[in-house]
Structure 1
Amino acid sequence: MIDLRVLRDTPDVVRASQLARGDDPSLVDAVLDLDARRRAALTDYERLRSEQKSMGKQVAAATGDAKAALLAHAKGLADQVKALQADADDAAAQLDAVASRIGNVVLEGVPAGGENDYVVLKHVGTPRDLAAELGADGVRDHLAIGEALGAIDTERGAKVSGARFYYLTGVGARLELALLNAAIDTALAAGFTPVITPTLVKPEIMRGTGFLGAHADEVYRLEADDLYLVGTSEVALAGYHAEEILDLSAGPKRYAGWSACYRREAGSYGKDTRGIIRVHQFHKVEMFSWTTVEDAAAEHERLLALEEQMLALVELPYRVIDTAAGDLGSSAARKLDCEAWLPSQQRYLELTSTSNCTTYQARRLGVRERTADGMRTVATLNGTLATTRWIVAILENHQQADGSVRVPEGLRPYLGGLDVLRPVA
């Protein structure tokens, strides 16, 4: 939720943020009008409530016609008070509905524009020239490699569950577990508390994290139970401290959530239909930090460094991009993506994102800290350490001429020392 004080004090900043996102700047004026209406109604309500309370003593002391007149006046006051309360409540409800449509204020330096307006911050590693090594016809995509290894089965996934579902079998299952366990070890070494989270959450938690806005059609909902399936453990971790007062005097509270994730992938018809790039169910280890507003930018860099540490572990060439404002999602004020090279498609594929959500989520969820100057909202950040999609990049970048796949050295301890994945008979 946008900070109303920021909106009142610097409306032009919020308008500029809306424009950078490609969103409607007139929502700012709508919120200001509703806020003024709500505050005016509350002021009149409090004034008349005070007068109403004083009438009690006057009525008790009066007699005859004077008492009757006072009683009539008191009834009129009661009606006015009730009407003002209703007006304030209506304005507050409308204010909440409109304010929730305003995305987080983007941080200075975030590129304006949409999905293709990102800025590349750096490249790390050099992609192999697989065409030279294997010949143009020898470069295989992850599904062909995975099927030969007995690691990926999308046909049976579709038979059992439908399109965009799959089985990971044999070394495929082992590879995912190796990745996720390596991510947990990385998080533990960095001071994160590992958490296995619920994958079903209440509407107020899903709404509080900002996932029921423009992209609500991406979320699975169980109507009979009024619960939502999470698309990331960020949702459950954000709800973990809902309506709590945190003590951040010893530094940020950091969690690493392991969970299954579910996404409807609405609107992605025809995109990445082959293999396991864009699927309805996957596993992920997600970092989540609660910190002070002052430390949020530094924490964002810390999360990015850990993501890059994991990419180095699996020896993938990648780039880091500063995501444009229109592609941030409502909660993020800045988002940095790490994209690995995908040889079969000669493009970069997003593997991780880390977002600084400033106080946007915590304000909705009622998470604060106590300071010398009183209570204030804390900041939240999140970042992916490993997910099923990484298998795509690992298989393609480490494929060899004989159909096998070289296991990155950092993953070998998690695979019992296995150094090569070989095709099955």
Structure 2
Amino acid sequence: MLDIRFIRAHADRIKEAARLKGIEVDIDRLLAVDERRRELLQEVEALKQRRNENSRRIPKLPPDERERLREETRRLGETIREKEAELAAVLEEFHALMLLVPNPPSPDTPVGDESANREVKRVGEPPSFPFPPKNHVELMLLHDMLDVERGVKVAGSRSYFLKNDGVLLHLGVLRLALDLLRERGFTLMYVPVLVNAFAMEGTGYFPLGREQAYHIPEDEKYLVGTAEVSLVAYHAEEILREEDLPLRYAGISEAFRREVGSAGRDTFGLYRVHQFSKVEQVILAPADEELSYQLHMELLENAEELLRRLELPYRVVQIATGDMGQGQVRKHDIETWMPSRGAYGETHSCSTFHDFQARRLKIRYRKSDGSLAYAYTLNNTAIASPRILIALLENHQMEDGRIRIPEALRPYVGGKAYIG
């Protein structure tokens, strides 16, 4: 959510941001509703002041004037109730429109749809196999690490059982990520995955994107698609201390996504599933653009270091305006080479929001001069599994069918150097 004063002063810029991001929101309607909202607030306040003044005067008046003023005060009460009912409807529309307003992208963001995404870095070379390589499903079936057929039987499409070394690899990459982030000063968090609606709305996953979330209607709760939701909402409606910022959190959780609209090769194997595990990085920072950029790069570097330790080829891509989310100011994806796809596949997503999420969740901090400001928030995937297992298994497969385990991962899988 943006400051309405900023929207009033930069209406054309907000309209352009909506166009670039492909978000449908009527900014002119929002401004008209905002004007009526302010008018009604002033009218109601003036009427209440007049009613209060009448109430103070009534006891001091002669009986005949006292009755006349009581009748006037009664009519004022009726008018106030009518105005407050209108104000409530206006506030409801105002809030609904405000939730649709996009954050303007940074000036360096490429303009266009997904095809305009810009590669900014490439690390490592995709392997050249002197044998016909297997895909991750074939490799996992070969080594009894996966059962998709029974996963579908038990839970439906895009469900799976991990088995044996598949479980160890899955837990191993998560633990590797947690250890790296702990070394780098992050507070480790095991977070709720069933949350109230305010957390989804506050982090920007509602109202846009609501169709991707699993809803538990009996309890009016939602399953999160990332620990980001719980971690950012952790400080909702709090006033933090400037000297404590930035706060760095690493949250581990299960994640659940309906994946409405996904199709084709993205639905093969373990690439796009309904349930997965994730370690998410979240930072709450002072409202400083230069520092925010530095922290964005820090989050990217943490994820890159994990991929280097896993000895995987990857590239970093700056995301274009039409491929960004509503609240993102700046976004980079990390894509890891997946031989079975013959392409890089997204494994990490790094986002800067400025105060977009903090305004929704009322996360503020007290500055050294005593004033209050909304915090800036950032996040990036540290690791998400089992998707990362696609790259791990396919890139490290050997001609004899074995799979080499990167040295950094071996302590997490019982010291094994190979699977098979």
- Which residue is 2:79 aligned to? 80
- Which residue is 2:313 aligned to? 317
Cα offsets for 1:52-104 (capped at 9, x unmatched)? 11112332222243223222222222222222222222211110001101222
- Which residue is 1:120 aligned to? 119
- Which residue is 2:92 aligned to? 93
Is residue 310–residue 385 contact of structure 1 (8 Å, CA) maintained in 2?
A: yes
- Which residue is 1:5 aligned to? 5
Please tell me the root mean square deviation across aligned C-alpha atoms, in Å. Answer: 1.5
Is residue 356–residue 381 contact of structure 1 (8 Å, CA) maintained in 2?
A: yes
- Which residue is 1:394 aligned to? 392
Say which SS state the counterpart of residue 147 (structure 1) adopts: helix
Could you state the TM-score of these two structures normalised by the residue count of structure 2? 0.95
Q: Is 1:380 matched with 2:374? A: no
Query: What is the Cα deviation at residue 373 of structure 1?
Result: 5.1
Cα offsets for 1:277-328 (capped at 9, x unmatched)? 1101111111111111203221111100101111111111111111122222
For 1:293 and 1:83, the matched residues in 2 are separated by 41
Q: Pick from 340, 346, 363: which aligns with 1:344?
A: 340
In structure 2, give the amino acid aligned to 1:139: P
Cα offsets for 1:209-265 (capped at 9, x unmatched)? 111222211111111111111111111111211111112314311111111111111
Say which SS state the counterpart of residue 83 (structure 2) adopts: helix
- Which residue is 1:306 aligned to? 302
- Which residue is 2:173 aligned to? 179
Is residue 220–residue 262 contact of structure 1 (8 Å, CA) maintained in 2?
A: yes
Cα offsets for 1:392-421 (capped at 9, x unmatched)? 001111111111111112212222221111
Query: What is the Cα deviation at residue 4 of structure 1?
Result: 1.3
- Which residue is 1:15 aligned to? 15
Could you state the TM-score of these two structures normalised by the residue count of structure 1? 0.94
Q: Is 1:223 matched with 2:222? A: no
Q: Sequence identity of aligned pairs in percent?
A: 36
Is residue 146–residue 162 contact of structure 2 (8 Å, CA) maintained in 1?
A: yes
For 1:224 and 1:158, the matched residues in 2 are separated by 26
Spell out the pairing of 1:193-232 with structure 2 (5 A cutoff): 193-232=187-226
Q: Mean Cα displacement is larger for which, 266-275 or 28-37?
A: 266-275
Q: Is 1:59 matched with 2:58? A: yes
Query: What is the Cα deviation at residue 150 of structure 1?
Result: 1.4
Is residue 261–residue 284 contact of structure 1 (8 Å, CA) maintained in 2?
A: yes
Q: Mean Cα displacement is larger for which, 329-338 or 71-80?
A: 71-80
Unpaired runs of 5+ residues, structure 2, are: none
Is residue 14–residue 102 contact of structure 2 (8 Å, CA) maintained in 1?
A: no
Query: What is the Cα deviation at residue 176 of structure 1?
Result: 0.9
Cα offsets for 1:137-165 (capped at 9, x unmatched)? x1211111111121122112112111101
Query: What is the Cα deviation at residue 356 of structure 1?
Result: 0.7
Is residue 18–residue 101 contact of structure 2 (8 Å, CA) maintained in 1?
A: yes
For 1:166 and 1:57, the matched residues in 2 are separated by 72
Unpaired runs of 5+ residues, structure 1, are: none
Is residue 287–residue 373 contact of structure 2 (8 Å, CA) maintained in 1?
A: no
- Which residue is 2:269 aligned to? 275
For 1:248 and 1:261, the matched residues in 2 are separated by 31
For 1:88 and 1:179, the matched residues in 2 are separated by 53
- After superposition, the Cα gap between the structure-2 partners of 1:151 and 1:248, relative to the gap in structure 1 and judged at 3 Å, is farther
Query: What is the Cα deviation at residue 271 of structure 1?
Result: 4.4
- Which residue is 2:155 aligned to? 161
Q: Pick from 247, 251, 260: which aligns with 1:253?
A: 247
- Which residue is 1:329 aligned to? 325
For 2:169 and 2:350, the matched residues in 1 are separated by 23
For 1:336 and 1:15, the matched residues in 2 are separated by 23
Q: Mean Cα displacement is larger for which, 74-83 or 191-200?
A: 74-83
Say which SS state the counterpart of residue 44 (structure 2) adopts: helix
Spell out the pairing of 1:402-413 with structure 2 (5 A cutoff): 402-413=400-411
- Which residue is 1:105 aligned to? 104
Say which SS state the counterpart of residue 243 (structure 2) adopts: coil
In structure 1, give the amino acid aligned to 2:390: V
Is residue 362–residue 379 contact of structure 1 (8 Å, CA) maintained in 2?
A: yes
Say which SS state the counterpart of residue 242 (structure 2) adopts: coil
Query: What is the Cα deviation at residue 32 of structure 1?
Result: 1.2
In structure 1, give the amino acid aligned to 2:200: M
For 1:56 and 1:88, the matched residues in 2 are separated by 24
Cα offsets for 1:356-384 (capped at 9, x unmatched)? 11111111111110112511111111111
Say which SS state the counterpart of residue 271 (structure 2) adopts: coil
Q: Mean Cα displacement is larger for which, 149-158 or 113-122?
A: 113-122
Runs of 4+ in 1 over 6 A off after TM superposition: none
For 1:271 and 1:216, the matched residues in 2 are separated by 24
In structure 1, give the amino acid aligned to 2:338: L
For 2:326 and 2:77, the matched residues in 1 are separated by 42
